[in-house]
Structures are given as structure tokens and as C-alpha cells.
Amino acid sequence: MTTLYYAPGACSTASHIALEESGAAFEGKPLSFARAEQRTPEYLKINPRGRVPALVVEDGTIVENTAILTYVAQALSGGTLLPQQPAAMARAISLMAWFSNTVHPAFTHIGRPERFATDVATHANLKETGRANFHGFLQEIDGLLAGKSWMLGEQFSVVDGYALVFYGWGKRIDLPVADLKNYTAFKDRMLARPAVRRVLEREQSVLLAA
């Protein structure tokens, strides 16, 4: 059985949505960050980095959203969740890499400044800078969605679940995400998808709050 280890509301929601959209059978294993379950000896045997997501498949364990999303699209969805033309595929992976390498770390500066500086006197500035950078990236995503139904155009893909994560994080920290018209319309389209809705209900997502 394919098994996904995830934490509700974390970046692993992207992989959770991809699996649900793929239609493949899988078992979801939620971990509580509040109880530090990602640091237990049992989980560290699965992912020694103590992070989510982790996808256990017949060939072993895959970690990192970009890798898991690409695997799900290619191996479990019949090739429907990513474009197959090489340049289009490369652009999709480029977006996911940007999400992972740039957008996500900006948010981490807000909640985990100690990862970036041991001097607590700098933490307030790290949080402020992270918040400003993260908001800027949400605005950039809003621009990328102009005139499009989905991140890649008219084809829904695994990239879309990843983009939805950041909208939810923006809402969580009270950024004015509703002002991002393209992004908000995209969010509404995502919430209308039954597979996405099932995942968000399972994770008790902030996106379902009024």
C-alpha cells in the first residue's frame, strides 16, 4: 500500500491533494507537529530529516514535495497531472522548485526564525522580513494566474495543490489574501473540486473557515 505521511495544514497538503486527485489507493498517516510526532524514532526511520511529506511506495521512500508530486503525476495518475511535453514539464517543475526553495522558506522565517539565526535579537526582523517577502510572493502568484484557470493554464496539475497551500498560509497569518483577485478565484475553483475538498476536510483546513 502506498502510504503518505503528512501534517494537517503543512506543505504536505500539496502531496495529499495530488494523491487524492490521482485516484490511486493510498493510506494517509497524519502526524502532529504539536506533539512533535515528526521527531519520534519511528518516523525518523522513515524520514531521518524529520520533515513531511514522506511517501512510502513499493520501491522505497520518497521525500520532498517536488519529488513526490512528480512521482504521483507520472506513476499514479496515468500522466494526467503534469504535462508530458518536455518544455512544459520543465516549466512545471521550475514552479514547484520555486515554491519549495523560495516561497516556503519566506514563510518559515515568520514561524521559525531560530532556524536562520541563533541571536534572538534578530528574530523580530527576520519575522517582519519573512512576512513582507511571503506577501510579495503571493502577489507574484496572483500575477501568474492572470487569465488562467490553473497554474499551468487550462490543465489542472499537481502544481495547483502546492499553490493552494500558500493561499491558506496567507489566510492563517491574516495577510489580505482576499485582495488577490486571481488567486482568490483560483482558490474557489480548487475548493469546488471534490478531491481537494475531501483533503481539506480531512485536514480541517483554515480554507474551509468562513
DSSP 7-54: -TTSTTHHHHHHHHHHT--EEEEE--TTTTGGGSHHHHHH-TT--S-E
For residue 51, what is its C-alpha cell?
520533515
C-beta neighbour count of 47 within 10 angstroms: 19
Set out the domains of the chain in order of their start, with CATH numbers.
2-76 (3.40.30.10), 86-193 (1.20.1050.10)
- For the purposes of burial, counting CB atoms within 10 Å of the CB of 32, is it exposed (0-12), middle (13-18) or buried (19 or more)? exposed
3-state secondary structure 133-172: HHHHHHHHHHHHCCCCCECCECCCCHHHHHHHHHHHHHHH
* Residue type (1 letter), 93: I
Strand partners, 150: 153
Return per-residue pLDDT of the chain as tens, 210 residues.
899 999 999 999 999 999 999 999 999 999 999 999 999 999 999 999 999 999 999 999 999 999 999 999 999 998 899 999 999 999 999 999 999 999 999 999 999 999 999 999 999 999 999 999 999 999 999 999 999 999 999 999 999 999 999 999 999 999 999 999 999 999 999 999 999 999 999 999 999 986
